[in-house]
Chains A and B, each alone.
Chain A
Amino acid sequence: MKRLLPFLVILLVAGLAVGGGYWLYQAKSENVFAPIPGEKASANPGAQPPHFRGPGRAPVVLEEFADLQCPPCAGLAGLLKKVQAQYPEDVRIVFRHFPLAMHNHAVEAARAAEAAGAQGKFWEMTGLMFENQSAWSKESKVTEIFEGYASQLGLDLGKFRADRERQEMLARVGLDNQRGISMGVKATPTLFINNQRVPQQHINEASLKTAINNVLEGKDPFPAS
């Protein structure tokens, strides 16, 4: 037994290395954004990696093009969060910026959301923006209001301010916008399920769940009735 002991130690180390590596691989691949099923070659890829919630390899992707100042987008954000919670393993939600010219604070809001995203709080920031949208939308200046949200979320304010001004942040917003244009988006919110546009009348909990179930069963999300 004593003679075998060093070989058992070596075997144990090998097992720990392989097992630990496999565990890490599994854990990390969950957070990697896998391509969206049904991606068209003509579509602009948008900002990479996009902001998403849910497993990075979930088979159903709900991709929303939203303007942070648009009231129906605030409603859709809540609905998508609720739907994703019901399919924690199968659905990922992707957020794409599509600021509209008619909304005076939309770009600034998008930049602030990206700056929060640089500190890992994108969804928390957009959540606060949507919740309080009716209040800040009416203001003439929103910079301090967004900084207030950043403080509320415990962000490093200096970094938040610096990131907000970085061209990279604006570029991400622009890339999302270009993706939307390449996919025919004209208004917000526009929602896609695995790259197939969700008709406006289907943007509700029951219809989305039916569409998700259809995709999971390998069917068309909206079969012609």
Chain B
Amino acid sequence: MKVLIVDDEVIIGRAIQRAFVAAGHEVSLAHTGIEGLEKWQNTKPDVVFLDVIMPGLTGPQVIEEFKKRNNGKTIDTHIFLMSAHSDVNQEDRAKAAGADGFIPKPFENIFDIVKKAESAIRKGDIK
């Protein structure tokens, strides 16, 4: 599957990338919201990981913008928002912003994310 990771913290992006590559997935990286938006359009990923707080466009703004560009058509990409500012309501807020799930930072185990994405894709087949 094709994975897009948008995070201004380079090491996080590269770590996630490595984990997915190791699992045999195709990964593209972006370090800003704008870059992420471009790559989302161009590479048509199955799963997008978006950091919430980024300079320029934030994660939720990227989702909004992407929806705008696709004229409100249903998006078949699985979207995950990530943030270190984690609290109980983040999952709901992520859903409201149009994401499929929320991943709090720091990750307990990076490979859990890979599993999460893979299972989402399987569910996505049903979706």
A and B together in one complex: no
Residues of B within 8 A of A (CB): none
